[in-house]
């Protein structure tokens, strides 16, 4: 484990310490795993009210080209999603693929609304992957599209059913945004970039803030009794209940978007053309299916099955798959997991066993999300 | 009745040849919200430091060790239904198991309450 002194600090480090966070090393950063409320209450509070997360460890970068078509085309060479069709002010989830069609990282891409930003796309990538992502992206770009790594901004998320009403007190325009929309906003006079998205299954925003103003924004949100600071522990249980993948665990460089069951990130034009890294293989999988598939798993008992737990067919000894994420779901009040199983056993309701400490626990394949997503859809 | 503590943050109450074992207030705070407890089987003979029970928080699973040699005589079924009791009353109603003392000499190497308090201070 890295020494604390070697760890990077986010612009909110001092605030975390002041709030009594338990700090742990994560992806090279000294990050809050929990606050005095504790993982369980932080999780439940986020689902009932609103939680504030520091996700400044994640990588923020701009792709900058002469116009949207050029920049989008450059990014499309690396990902299987439509980027040309991404409308101004919209955000999209996608994956960076390698030549095998496997996932190098998953990321969010935003197209700014403002005309002067035409040709710019904002990327948010995983902390542990960012250096590798940047190397791969930069190497693949044409001469007229540049990668600008953003080092001077914090990223926070406010998530939960009361996130929007609290956000609106400081940035009234945020209320008009729909799910997966992005805007440049004034938050108490501070220029921020907000997207209406997150990693909890709840309504909420991710807010990119100049580093020097991050504490002011976080404190303004935390001053509201409807908001509590939330650590990485509850972030993980929230995203697990929402059925969302954690890169490096549920999807990685050995899984394609088809195996990972995230083909929703691939739009029709790309699925037909296969014009992305590993396209031939991914198209074949789309047509013929895959050997294995990521599924949700619910256990009958109370014992959680964690990452690495073997998956078996009841009455047999053969290991047919492994749990890639698992734990206790506080909102569900039961253990939840996801993992890979042979496609023939991926049907919802299929009875399986998860091996925990040598004991085979009854489980079944379950649809995801485990807890209904509550994203904000704008009235038409 | 005598009370002892271990470096693994377990407490022992010895009454005759029956030892009641649980985890300390310090341990429950470190674990966070307990969501599941797995108890040892009654009648099982265990050696000191064997992993005999499991306590799971939202975050992770942790082992509970046999503090002594002996035979498990009872698990606390309350914890199966209400694992959160471990957070509420770790040194009282949320004991983990009772065991029959196999080797009383092993008690001498354990810590007193004062020693344990001093030990926790160093962490």
The residue with tokens 């509550």 is: A374
Which residue of A233, A303, A335 is in closest CB contact with B59? A233
pLDDT of residue A2 exceeding 60, the answer is no
Which residue of B38, B58, B80 is in closest CB contact with A40? B58
Mean pLDDT of A172-201: 97
For the ranges A120-124, A158-162, A374-378, the lowest mean pLDDT is seen at A374-378
pLDDT tens-digit map of A321-349: 999 999 999 999 999 999 999 999 999 99
Q: Which of B37, B52, B58 to mutate to test the interface with A (most CBs of A within 10 A)?
A: B58
pLDDT of residue A378 exceeding 90, the answer is no
Single out the residue of A333, A326, A303 nearest to residue B38, CA to CA: A303
Could you report the predicted ipTM of this complex, rounded to two decimals?
A: 0.84
pLDDT of residue A1: 47
Q: State which of A2-11, A113-122, B114-123 shows the largest mean pLDDT.
A: B114-123
Quick one: tokens of A250?
């549920």
Pairwise CA distance, residues A335 & A327, whole Å? 6
Pairwise CA distance, residues A190 & A213, whole Å? 7
Shortest CA distance from A327: residue in chain B: B58
pTM of the shown model:
0.94
Single out the residue of A212, A169, A174 nearest to residue A193, CA to CA: A174
pLDDT of residue A114: 73
The DSSP result for A12-49, as a single string, is: THHHHHHTTPEEEEETTEEEEEE-TT-HHHHHHHHHHS
Mean pLDDT of A169-189: 97
- B58 contacts in chain A (CB < 8 Å): 39-40, 43, 233-234, 237, 327-328, 330
Mean pLDDT of A72-82: 98
pLDDT tens-digit map of A265-324: 999 999 999 999 999 999 999 999 999 999 999 999 999 999 999 999 999 999 999 999
Contact yes or no for A233 and B83 at CB 8 A: no
Residue-level pLDDT, tens digit, chain B, 123 residues: 799 999 999 999 999 999 999 999 999 999 999 999 999 999 999 999 999 999 999 888 999 999 999 999 999 999 999 999 999 999 999 999 999 999 999 999 999 999 999 999 998
| A227-229 vs A50-54, strand pairing mode | parallel
For the beta carbon of residue A249, count every other beta carbon within 10 angstroms. 17
Q: Which of B30, B33, B53 to mutate to test the interface with A (most CBs of A within 10 A)?
A: B33
pLDDT of residue A166 exceeding 70, the answer is yes
Whether residue A259 contacts residue A63, with contact meaning beta carbons closer than 8 Å, is answered with no
Shortest CA distance from B28: residue in chain A: A38
H or E, element range at B19: strand B18-23
Pairwise CA distance, residues B15 & A88, whole Å? 74
Instruction: Quickly state the pLDDT bin for A146 (edges 50, 70, 90).
Output: very high
What beta strand segments (E) does chain A contain? 22-26, 29-34, 50-54, 59-64, 91-97, 103-110, 120-125, 146-150, 153-159, 182-187, 190-195, 204-210, 227-229, 292-299, 310-312, 319-329, 334-342, 351-356, 359-366
Whether residue A330 contacts residue A40, with contact meaning beta carbons closer than 8 Å, is answered with yes
The DSSP result for A141-205, as a single string, is: --TT-EEEEE-SEEEEEEESTTHHHHHHHH-GGGGGPPTTBEEEEEETTEEEEEES--SSSSSEE
pLDDT of residue A156 exceeding 90, the answer is yes
CA atoms within 13 A on the CB side of A366: 19
pLDDT of residue A314: 96
Instruction: Quickly state the pLDDT bin for A4 (edges 50, 70, 90).
Output: low
């Amino acid at each position: 484990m890295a020494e604390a002194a070697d760890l990077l600090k986010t612009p909110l480090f001092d605030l975390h310490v002041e709030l009594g966070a338990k700090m742990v090393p994560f992806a090279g950063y000294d990050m809050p795993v929990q606050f005095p409320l504790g993982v369980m209450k932080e999780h439940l509070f986020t689902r009932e009210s609103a939680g504030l997360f520091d996700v400044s460890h994640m990588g923020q970068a701009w792709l900058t080209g002469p116009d949207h078509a050029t920049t989008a085309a450059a990014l499309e060479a690396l990902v299987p999603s439509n980027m040309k069709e991404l409308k101004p002010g919209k955000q999209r989830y996608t994956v960076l693929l390698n030549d095998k069609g496997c996932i190098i990282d998953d990321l969010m891409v935003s197209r700014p609304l403002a005309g002067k930003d035409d040709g710019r796309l904002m990327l948010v990538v995983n902390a542990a992957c960012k250096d590798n992502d940047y190397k791969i992206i930069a190497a693949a770009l044409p001469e007229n599209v540049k990668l600008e790594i953003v080092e001077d901004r914090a990223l926070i998320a406010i998530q939960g059913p009361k996130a929007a009403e609290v956000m609106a007190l400081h940035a009234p325009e945020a209320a008009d945004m729909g799910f997966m929309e992005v805007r440049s906003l004034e938050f108490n006079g501070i220029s921020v970039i907000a997207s209406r998205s997150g990693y909890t299954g709840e309504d909420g925003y991710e807010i990119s803030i100049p580093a020097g103003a991050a504490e002011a924004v976080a404190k303004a949100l935390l001053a509201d009794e409807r908001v509590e600071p939330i650590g990485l522990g509850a972030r993980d249980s929230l995203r697990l209940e929402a059925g969302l993948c954690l890169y490096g665990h549920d999807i990685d460089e050995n899984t394609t978007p088809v195996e990972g069951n995230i083909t929703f990130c691939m739009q029709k034009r790309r699925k037909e053309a296969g014009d992305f890294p590993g396209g031939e293989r991914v198209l074949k999988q789309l047509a013929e299916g895959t050997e294995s598939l990521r599924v949700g798993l619910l256990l009958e008992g109370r014992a959680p099955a964690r990452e690495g737990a073997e998956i078996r067919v009841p009455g047999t000894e053969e290991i047919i798959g492994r749990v890639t994420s698992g734990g206790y779901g506080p909102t569900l009040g039961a253990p939840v997991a996801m993992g890979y199983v042979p496609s023939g056993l991926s049907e919802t309701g299929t009875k399986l066993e998860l091996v925990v400490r040598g004991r085979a626990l009854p489980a079944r394949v379950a649809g995801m999300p485990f807890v209904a997503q509550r994203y904000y859809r704008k009235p038409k | 009745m005598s009370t002892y503590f271990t470096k693994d943050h377990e407490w022992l109450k010895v009454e005759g040849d029956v030892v009641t074992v649980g985890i300390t207030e310090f341990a429950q705070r470190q674990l966070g919200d307990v969501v599941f407890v797995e108890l040892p089987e009654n009648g099982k003979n265990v050696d000191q430091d064997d992993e005999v029970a499991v306590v799971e928080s939202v975050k992770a699973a942790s082992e509970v060790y046999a503090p002594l040699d002996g035979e498990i005589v009872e698990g606390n079924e309350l914890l199966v239904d209400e694992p959160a009791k471990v957070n509420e009353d770790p040194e009282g109603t949320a004991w983990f198991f009772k065991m029959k003392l196999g080797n009383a000499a092993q008690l001498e190497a354990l810590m007193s309450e004062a020693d344990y308090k001093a030990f926790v201070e160093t962490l």
